Amino acid sequence: MQIHISDVLTADQVAHCRAVLESAAWVDGRVTAGHQSARTKKNLQVPESAPELPGLRDMILRALDANPVFMSATLPERVFPPLFNRYDAGMTFGAHVDNAIRPLPGGGGRIRTDISATLFLSGPDEYDGGELMIEDTYGAHSVKLPAGHMVVYPASSLHRVTPITRGSRWASFFWIQSIIRDDAARTTLFDLDMAINGVAADMPDHPSVVSLTNCYHNLIRRWAEV
């Protein structure tokens, strides 16, 4: 399931990211591409060795930890440290699927990429083209969100970034290994959690809140891999 998460970063945090990244040494984005993806990838990326990365990564990871929608939608076990990319005029990324397993930086083991995430650092008015196109059984869906907003979607999805025809598109991207491997199960849990929150807000003392919460946690016990 594809989920848009609003206001992951504040306007001030987005501006800070952009200011820090302005001075970064951007390199060819194919440094993190697999063999097949490298054939269709044309963008720029901040390298793992960049001194700007640790502070920006920490800021984003803290924001994710504090975002209840992100936590509900992904039920994270591990989050790959955020990376940053940039598409200038003429740049694009053809149809591809993300690698199923990725080594964590610094020899920290490996992560199974259940979920892909794109956190937008450019507003839609700053560039033309550059839509993230995500395919599922219902067709291709175009995503172009305000700066500070994020989309998460199954990493198994075929996706692409359309060519930039004006301006520049900046974003952070990363992957999540969830305690719930199956996307359909995660979708069920997310929908149930949102329903519980709705009932709790409208009728906080209704006994159904406790019953539904019990069902939610028992489903996690059944499906979780921890």
Q: Where are the alpha helices (DSSP H) in 50-115?
A: 53-65, 68-74
Greatest Cα pair distance, the chain, in angstroms, is: 57
**How do residues 54-94 score in pLDDT, each as one tens digit?**
999 999 999 999 999 999 999 999 999 999 999 999 999 99
pLDDT confidence of residue 226: 85
Name the token pair of 146: 């305000």
Between residues 13 and 28, the one the model is more confident about: 13
Could you tell me what percentage of the chain is helix, strand and coil, using 3-state DSSP and rounding each to the nearest 5?
35, 30, 30
Stated length of the chain: 226
Query: Has domain 183-223 been given CATH number 4.10.860?
Result: yes
Residue 5, exposed/middle/buried by CB under 10 A (0-12, 13-18, 19+)?
buried
The fraction of the chain above a pLDDT of 90, given in percent, is 89
What distance lies between CA 192 and its chain's CA centroid?
21
Burial pattern 181-192, b for ≥16 Cβ within 10 A else e, equals eebebbebbbeb
Res. 34 pLDDT band, cuts 50 70 90: low
Place of tokens 């929150």: 197
Element (H, E) at 164: strand 164-167
Res. 108 pLDDT band, cuts 50 70 90: confident
What HEC string does 97-139 produce? CCCCEEECHHHCCEEECCEEEEEECCCHHHEEECCEEEEECCE
Torsion angles phi and psi, residue 7, rounded to 5: 50, 45
Which residues share a beta bridge with 141? Answer: 134
pTM of the model: 0.94
pLDDT confidence of residue 36: 65
Mean pLDDT computed over every residue of the chain: 95
**How do residues 159-208 score in pLDDT, each as one tens digit?**
999 999 999 999 999 999 999 999 999 999 999 999 999 999 999 999 99
Residues of the chain with CATH 2.60.120.620: 3-178
CATH second-level architecture of 3-178?
Answer: Sandwich (2.60)
pLDDT confidence of residue 88: 97
pLDDT score of 49 more than 70: yes
**How do residues 178-190 score in pLDDT, each as one tens digit?**
999 999 999 999 9
Residues of the chain with CATH 4.10.860: 183-223
